[in-house]
Structure 1
């Protein structure tokens, strides 16, 4: 269906005196054709050709996922208060006029390019054009799929802190989110318009071939055509059409790839018509480029393209100064004007939510006579939990009261469980999996420990500081950016150093320092706003 529609969309001119009505209700169709606007207008049978070429498109329900309102078409949608499911939301974003006597959410009305009119205005033929009535800028974001990780926490925090008197926000994501990701998606601030992408891309054979060249020979294209011209026009057209399929004619001022790991989303935002385009780096990106799961590189296929697409963004944003310095040093040969474009903005916090959540009751009971270390994060190679468990074996040989709790899921779950059994640590180390609210446990534990090999700016360290925890962490740039001024103990990234650090914590030899999370958060938001201005 989509391929046939695209052929008509690309080749058929708009037929001025025609209308197609998408409805299952004969009375609605008769009523529309009796309106003065459609006197002398011929009714086309519903077809892909009609959708692509009729001067007027009218519907009282959701449109096909492949429909894109063309320049020169007028699309009128009659909304009767149905739940705003993804296909219906997409239809409203394409409409020139939305006829309704009910209320649409303000966050949707502000974003829509179309004009909302009442049924009385429709009967009177009052079809005025929507005027921009404020100076708000519209931000479009992709936030990484809302997995249980630091990127998701950082995105939710940022959007809870954002000034919605100055900005309106659209966050888009796929319809294929897992249940825990859907729960996180729903945690976004109520002022945010959440758009679920439904249906597939419309593409020509020529565009598909150009996309394949990009995905398989990006570096050859980069060498031949340079950092600002290696994207072929067919690829730009493909992704610009896709964004229009998703959002209609919605005007985007600022496009932010807040994730920076998936080439589909990066291409959508890199080729958008936004006045300002930003892409985030939440980690040491060359370490991410090298990361393996078994024999396969986890991110390399996407990052081969994304690293070069940095040239299509105005700012490349790390989440800590040390991380920015390292990323700029490793990637400057690929990025024009890297010293100017590669900046840093600290992660923001929702400290009130952390403090409130920490006071809730936990379903997990901890022994009152034990000394608890806790770590939290995805169970994956860069988090270095295997070495931590190995180091903890030596700690328990000296201090029987020591126990370790690991919160999080990931690809290493079974391997780590087996490692615990092999070391005979079942009584001392517990894998709790994903915990909906980990903060009561974090508040109760004695020490938070982060053994990571690389991080951007670890949200878990900031959350531990909010709860005034003693912290031990490996001395990597991301953790150093938070702890270097005396907020915790940084140790070399080795098993022996982790053992020494944990024993020092057990002996109450780790200094702590009160963290001004209110002041920190104010500075983080000021950094974000200054980047947008």
Structure 2
């Protein structure tokens, strides 16, 4: 009997057969020297640049075998027949034949991207002719920073990226994280699709076929509404506009519409004088026949400039549209007439005022000409040079270090990495942080947006390639420690060897750093990298205790990576002996690279308004008493709240400031009473609508000088020792009820267990558990002492972050941490529950004078240690 789970697997297998076909052909087939595969918009059509390249190759390159990828073979075949293109064979996108061609054709052309499984073979030539001049923001300039991944991956593989102006070239370099590292050629030259618009013969031919003599042809090409991944399918506006236009058109006016593919289901047949663009024409052919182009925010405006004919922008929703889609240029600076209503649009269409697009033509289409497609193909296939084609090398000659950073979760490893990047000189090398695209969550996007100058990031799309049998071996190899041996290694090796090229394309990677030290896939990849790459893996904790406690990684894979690595970077020298004793092969390649403490970054973050950092933070646990809370300490800091959040307007609406003049006319007693009433009312709004009661209580107590706060920051995991911290605090709180404990824990396997312990604790009314905080340092600064309660840590980084913001530290005796604290900078206690209790008690009972910590000394040392990991020569 076939289970539902098995049915699903069979369905997925049938749907994704192309993954297996491609890998089979990738390894089996040689390059077909005269074969050209052309793909436009993932096979959705064959138009624009790709159509005109195909047309030129059909006419003048008879020795080439031409193939076109198509999702709908019949419609594209019919279109090619209408265009008298006979030699090109249309193949089904993602079919077996398509995979064969993608894996073996010497020449690959695209105007967007190939799917993530694509892996350019040595000997293939990949040309990407980018599909438009961007007005709307692209790549990493969008809200979702991971959407850049597949375009970035494709660009890393291309031999040439072709655009028709410097403006677009500069945006692509920045937006797709290729600046300084791209190994191919950035080419600025004539646009293939714009060449046809110079052809007066085609203009007359199409107008004749349409039966047009002296009539004016208006052509409306709206862009789509919505944002990436969220298309607006409401067509009511466009239909109502077309109805109004239809009723007001004159006899000498012909109105055509080319709808975006997302609007393809709109039926225009009900209109007598509004027509869809005839399907037998390619859109840029049809543009030759047009007298006035109507668009809004589409890049076609830049292309139509070459005709010198009128362009009208119908921008009825400009403010709303630009609020959801950022733009690189202000269209108000363009010499185009803008219309917000149908009447304004018709006036603009019929206006005969003179206009000039000369400056825009020089900026956006300086090299376009009637021979543009012919010139470009001659350049690409015959290496002919032309004055209208310029090649640029944007590779900066520096060595490139690729750093696997995981999902940049809220943990010490991420903090250590960000501290590293903020302290080293990132101008000396190219640094690329890479991670699996789906692993970076929205709440962590800010971490890649805020990377230092010169540090790129790369969200790798897609899963591993592999044949059917390789994938079976891979699955078992990663799941079961016992599944190993020469046969297993053979299949795993065959699967991973091509992955370096699929991930990084033609990039020259000099150093590969597995920074997290745990991830299996990228540790296994390290084991199969080219010999000339400097392979480094970090060790952030006692891996033997970690495995004994949690079995959170694969020994065979991680220790196998240690064996293949050139250097093993330990963040604390105390880890060295255990590694060498347990894994003798590590001798001679262990480097100590002490974590950067990141004191400058932490101090800057600690300046953030406490209300602003608390507002978005979830409360995992907090005791809220039934009796009314006296928020006197919160009231004293109400202005701090006002500065922190847009909702302060709710407070301002109480008109305290507006009432002051009137209040001043009353007696002193009334002034005080009225202000107190309004502040109390404001607190109710804050509690109910903004902060919430539990966080309001927390803040109120934080501002109470009589209450002492202890804080711990770390995920819900065994090694963090939360259970004994809570037990120790219970004893402290019993002796001194004016104490509080905050635990900030974003995630972890022991979450439910820890919350249950607190709920049942005798100190439950004095303990707060908060969820993830993008910036915990403002809160850390307000607390009296940070408590490190971990059973084991290579380095308790938060100890030094606490010292950086002036918060006292109580830490258990962990060698890797306390070796830096030998000058009375912290209270060091026995590594036990009793030790934690005595440490907190000592802090409360006796005035404790701490010495300041010397951050500068250790920062300089860490820089030297990190640089020692990398090759010394910085320029090739």
Per the normalisation by structure 1, the TM-score is 0.90
**8 Å contact kept, 1:370–1:403:** yes
The residue correspondences of 1:164-243 to structure 2 (distance < 5 A) are 164-177=426-439, 178-208=441-471, 211=474, 214-215=477-478, 232-243=489-500
Q: Does 1:253 align with 2:253?
A: no
- How many Å apart are 1:393 and its aligned residue? 0.8
Q: Which residue of 1 aligns with 2:583?
A: 332
Are residues 241 and 130 of structure 1, via their aligned partners in 2, closer, same or farther at CA, if it must alter by over 3 Å?
A: farther
Q: Which residue of 2 aligns with 1:114?
A: 184
| Cα distance in structure 1, aligned partners of 2:62 and 2:544 | 64
SS of the equivalent of 1:369 reads coil
Q: Which residue of 1 aligns with 2:643?
A: none
**8 Å contact kept, 1:379–1:413:** yes
Are residues 165 and 38 of structure 1, via their aligned partners in 2, closer, same or farther at CA, if it must alter by over 3 Å?
A: farther
Of 156, 161, 175, the residue aligned with 1:98 is: 161
Q: Does 1:362 align with 2:610?
A: yes
- How many Å apart are 1:485 and its aligned residue? 4.1
Q: Which residue of 2 aligns with 1:288?
A: 546
Who wins on radius of gyration, i.e. which is larger? Answer: 2
User: Which is worse superposed, 175-184 or 386-395?
Assistant: 175-184
**8 Å contact kept, 1:156–1:187:** no
Of 417, 423, 445, the residue aligned with 2:783 is: 445
**8 Å contact kept, 1:310–1:316:** yes
SS of the equivalent of 1:427 reads helix
| Cα distance in structure 2, aligned partners of 1:27 and 1:392 | 69
Deviations 1:82-136 (A, max 9, x none): 6232211111111011112311335513222211111249737176998796551
SS of the equivalent of 2:126 reads strand
User: Which is worse superposed, 506-515 or 396-405?
Assistant: 506-515
Per the normalisation by structure 2, the TM-score is 0.56
Q: Which residue of 1 aligns with 2:402?
A: 140
- How many Å apart are 1:449 and its aligned residue? 0.7
**8 Å contact kept, 1:488–1:511:** no
Of 74, 93, 107, the residue aligned with 1:56 is: 107
- How many Å apart are 1:182 and its aligned residue? 3.5
Q: Which residue of 2 aligns with 1:125?
A: 379
- How many Å apart are 1:233 and its aligned residue? 4.3
Of 5, 8, 14, the residue aligned with 2:31 is: 14
Are residues 148 and 262 of structure 1, via their aligned partners in 2, closer, same or farther at CA, if it must alter by over 3 Å?
A: same
**8 Å contact kept, 1:22–1:60:** yes
| Cα distance in structure 2, aligned partners of 1:467 and 1:164 | 26
| Cα distance in structure 2, aligned partners of 1:5 and 1:197 | 19
SS of the equivalent of 2:711 reads strand
**8 Å contact kept, 1:377–1:408:** yes
**8 Å contact kept, 2:709–2:784:** yes
Are residues 191 and 39 of structure 1, via their aligned partners in 2, closer, same or farther at CA, if it must alter by over 3 Å?
A: farther
Are residues 372 and 96 of structure 1, via their aligned partners in 2, closer, same or farther at CA, if it must alter by over 3 Å?
A: same
Are residues 475 and 327 of structure 1, via their aligned partners in 2, closer, same or farther at CA, if it must alter by over 3 Å?
A: farther
User: Which is worse superposed, 273-282 or 410-419?
Assistant: 410-419
| Cα distance in structure 2, aligned partners of 1:151 and 1:27 | 47
User: Which is worse superposed, 99-108 or 494-503?
Assistant: 99-108
**8 Å contact kept, 2:476–2:483:** no
Are residues 131 and 235 of structure 1, via their aligned partners in 2, closer, same or farther at CA, if it must alter by over 3 Å?
A: farther
Are residues 360 and 130 of structure 1, via their aligned partners in 2, closer, same or farther at CA, if it must alter by over 3 Å?
A: closer
- How many Å apart are 1:27 and its aligned residue? 3.8
User: Which is worse superposed, 319-328 or 276-285?
Assistant: 319-328
Q: Which residue of 1 aligns with 2:66?
A: 43
SS of the equivalent of 2:793 reads coil
| Cα distance in structure 2, aligned partners of 1:373 and 1:477 | 22
SS of the equivalent of 1:176 reads helix
Q: Does 1:377 align with 2:739?
A: no
Deviations 1:9-67 (A, max 9, x none): 22222221121111134342332135579563221132222211211101000111111
Aligned residues: 517
| Cα distance in structure 2, aligned partners of 1:424 and 1:516 | 40
Deviations 1:431-480 (A, max 9, x none): 12222221111111111110001112122112112123221111122322
Of 548, 564, 567, the residue aligned with 1:312 is: 564
- How many Å apart are 1:372 and its aligned residue? 1.1
Are residues 356 and 133 of structure 1, via their aligned partners in 2, closer, same or farther at CA, if it must alter by over 3 Å?
A: closer
The residue correspondences of 1:323-472 to structure 2 (distance < 5 A) are 323-329=575-581, 331-333=582-584, 336=585, 338-363=586-611, 364=614, 365=699, 366=702, 367-410=704-747, 411-472=749-810
Are residues 220 and 268 of structure 1, via their aligned partners in 2, closer, same or farther at CA, if it must alter by over 3 Å?
A: closer
**8 Å contact kept, 1:323–1:477:** no
User: Which is worse superposed, 178-187 or 67-76?
Assistant: 178-187
| Cα distance in structure 2, aligned partners of 1:179 and 1:241 | 30
User: Which is worse superposed, 262-271 or 125-134?
Assistant: 125-134
Are residues 145 and 291 of structure 1, via their aligned partners in 2, closer, same or farther at CA, if it must alter by over 3 Å?
A: farther
User: Which is worse superposed, 253-262 or 432-441?
Assistant: 432-441
User: Which is worse superposed, 17-26 or 27-36?
Assistant: 27-36
Q: Which residue of 1 aligns with 2:419?
A: 157
- How many Å apart are 1:343 and its aligned residue? 2.1
Q: Which residue of 2 aligns with 1:67?
A: 118
Deviations 1:470-519 (A, max 9, x none): 21111122322332443212211111111111111112354522122233
User: Which is worse superposed, 131-140 or 402-411?
Assistant: 131-140
Of 509, 513, 528, the residue aligned with 2:851 is: 513
**8 Å contact kept, 1:488–1:510:** no
- Aligned Cα root-mean-square deviation (Å): 2.6
Deviations 1:373-418 (A, max 9, x none): 1111112111001101101111112222221111122232332222
| Cα distance in structure 1, aligned partners of 2:479 and 2:396 | 44
**8 Å contact kept, 1:457–1:481:** no
